[in-house]
Structure 1
Amino acid sequence: MRFFIVDDDPAVRSMLETIIEDEQLGTVAGDAPDGSHIDHGLLASQRVDVLLIDLLMPGRDGIETVRELAGRFEGKIVMISQIESKELIGKAYAAGIEYYVTKPINRLEVVAVLRKVAERLRLQHSIRDIRKTLSAIGFDGAASGKGTAAPEKTIVDSGSDVLSDLGLVGEAGVQDLLDILEVLSRHESERPGEPGFPQLLDLYRDIARRKLGPSASEANVKREVKAAEQRVRRAVHQALVHVASLGLIDYASPKFEQYATVFFDLGDIRKKMKELEDETSPAPGSIRQNTKKFIQALYLESKKRMA
């Protein structure tokens, strides 16, 4: 992978370059002190895969730069900043970043995030290459005049798209949620017409068994169930923060209107928006997280996207 680093602190640029080279994550194609020094043409000419950019800089800041690149830079963008304002972080995600790394720089965090980015890029490139191959050998329908046949979308593909919209790219609980979607899809196909929704505990047990294998002990399954439940709860809370941030930026945002009341209770959304706006800590029990509603909404929205 080829990286480009934008940060007004030369020490940070040097530290990031050292981490990338030491961990053999790729090559640093260039760097700049602020966003005014880069554009999509420069990044394209340097064949940049990942842009690492600071949030606040004296010239053009990170959010403004990301907005300028929107729709033209095809790589991934990782925001780096010591700013902890959830409103600003929400604006960064809304502008188009996919990951956020906090300062001061933590080597383990940087490596973990960049490896996730690399894996995501490899997956996208593999899918693109497969599609090109299928097209080249006539599986796109061009020869028969039937038009290009779109690859069949799975529940996981659709769920990944929805979770990305909800700002959950890279969250630990994403894989658990995707596994739950597969369990629900299998449950529906095996028991068509059966009313009701499986209990959350049953879903967590199913994905724990799937992850650990049939020979796993009951004690290990229980530990994994508890861990999965915690990961999912954190992911759902992060989605709430992301959606509330979108609402603060633009109450008429299409994504906010589409997801706010489908995945969450409107009262909880309003409470979270006020907390973010006032930058206050949530009062204990002020927001009662409804994980089951979130998972039901995720499944229905993912199915809708498969149609």
Structure 2
Amino acid sequence: MRFFIIDDDPAIRSMLEQIIEDEDLGSVVGEAPDGAHVDITLLELKQVDIMLIDLLMPVRDGIETVRKLSGSFEGKIIMISQVESKEMIVKAYACGIEYYITKPINRLEVISVIRKVSELLLIHQSFRNIQKSLRAVGFSGELTEKEPSTIEKNIITCGNYMLSDLGLIGEAGSKDLLEMLDYLYRYEADHSQEQGFPQLHEIYHQIALKKLGPSASTINLKKEIKAAEQRVRRAVNQALTHLSSLGLIDYSNPKFEQYSTKFFDLSDIRKKMKALESDETSALSLIRQNTKKFIQVLYLESRKLMN
């Protein structure tokens, strides 16, 4: 990944560059002390993938800079600032940033966020490439022998795209969810629509069988099924937390509006938001999870992206 850092504090720029290089996250290809020194021509010339930008700067602040780049910069933006005002954070997200990190800089947080954004960028790039390939096939009106396998792989790419929007990239259960999407895609191709979705236990059984192989013992299969169930439950809870957090920051957040009531019941979303706002950890465990609904919606939304 290629990074560009914009901050009026040279110590912060140096610190961020050191973190990126020490952790082998990519290379810093440029830096600037103010947003006024940056435009799309410079970023394209430097082939910037991720821009880290401060909010408060003397000439042109971070929000105004992001607005000027909106629609032209195809990379991702991480904003880093000492400002903790909810109103300012909402404005930053509304402008199109991917993450907002508050100062003083926490090294582990910066590393985690950059890794997530890097994974997200790679997924989006892959998704755009597949869209171009599919449009090219549709334009020619010809179906090659390789097209079915290309589309079959696309369910995983689309699933990854959905998981990134739900804040699940890097979660252990994300791999299980992708295996489920692959199984459901094959299941749909082999069965009539009247049969609907298979039972949840059958889905877990099939992905465990695929992972361990046909010679796996019954005991090992049961252990893997139980472990997968736990991983998926944690992933579903993380998605609920992620969407609820977006709703707390900005109730009109596009991802919150698009996904919250599709994947979860509105009452559960409200309970989670209330628990997060009041930091009631005991209340969080009382929120039920409809894992089957989550998996069904994840598959349908991923399938929709394929079209």
TM-score, with structure 2 as normaliser: 0.70
Q: Distance in 1 between matches of 2:85 and 2:202?
A: 37
Partner residue, 2:122 = 121
Pairing of 1:159-174 with structure 2 (within 5 A) = 159-174=159-174
Give 1:48 deviation, angstroms. Answer: 0.9
Identity %: 58
SS in 1 for 2:289: coil
Contact 2:17 2:28 survives alignment (8 Å):
yes
SS in 2 for 1:106: helix
Pairing of 1:283-294 with structure 2 (within 5 A) = 283-284=282-283, 285-294=285-294
Q: Distance in 1 between matches of 2:189 and 2:120?
A: 31
Give 1:158 deviation, angstroms. Answer: 3.2
Larger relative CO (CA 8 A, sep 6+): 1 or 2?
A: 1
TM-score, with structure 1 as normaliser: 0.70
Pairing of 1:40-55 with structure 2 (within 5 A) = 40-53=40-53
Pairing of 1:14-33 with structure 2 (within 5 A) = 14-22=14-22, 24-33=24-33
Contact 2:173 2:235 survives alignment (8 Å):
yes
Amino acid at match of 1:281: E
Deviations 1:278-305 (A, max 9, x none): 3523433342122221111112222333
Contact 1:3 1:51 survives alignment (8 Å):
yes
1:234 aligns with 2:239: no
Partner residue, 2:204 = 204
SS in 1 for 2:282: coil
Deviations 1:154-197 (A, max 9, x none): 33233333334334444443332221111112223233246364
Give 1:116 deviation, angstroms. Answer: 7.3
**Kindly tell me: are residues 222 and 210 of structure 1, through their superposed partners in 2, closer, same or farther at Cα, counting changes over 3 Å?**
same
SS in 2 for 1:52: strand
Amino acid at match of 1:160: N
Partner residue, 1:104 = 106
Q: What are structure 2's unaligned runs of at least 5 residues?
A: none
Deviations 1:205-239 (A, max 9, x none): 43344345456666665555455434433332332
Partner residue, 1:175 = 175
Partner residue, 2:298 = 298
What RMSD over aligned residues (CA atoms) do the two structures have, in Å? 4.5
Partner residue, 2:6 = 6
**Kindly tell me: are residues 252 and 29 of structure 1, through their superposed partners in 2, closer, same or farther at Cα, counting changes over 3 Å?**
closer
**Kindly tell me: are residues 29 and 255 of structure 1, through their superposed partners in 2, closer, same or farther at Cα, counting changes over 3 Å?**
closer
SS in 2 for 1:283: helix
Amino acid at match of 1:104: N
Give 1:43 deviation, angstroms. Answer: 1.7
**Kindly tell me: are residues 141 and 270 of structure 1, through their superposed partners in 2, closer, same or farther at Cα, counting changes over 3 Å?**
closer
**Kindly tell me: are residues 193 and 90 of structure 1, through their superposed partners in 2, closer, same or farther at Cα, counting changes over 3 Å?**
same
Q: Distance in 2 between matches of 1:119 and 1:80?
A: 19
Q: Distance in 2 between matches of 1:171 and 1:3?
A: 25
Contact 2:159 2:298 survives alignment (8 Å):
yes
**Kindly tell me: are residues 234 and 163 of structure 1, through their superposed partners in 2, closer, same or farther at Cα, counting changes over 3 Å?**
same
**Kindly tell me: are residues 126 and 163 of structure 1, through their superposed partners in 2, closer, same or farther at Cα, counting changes over 3 Å?**
closer
Partner residue, 1:72 = 72
SS in 1 for 2:107: coil
Amino acid at match of 1:117: S
Q: Distance in 2 between matches of 1:28 and 1:11?
A: 15
After TM superposition, the structure 1 stretch with the greater mean CA deviation from structure 2, 173-182 or 86-95, is 86-95
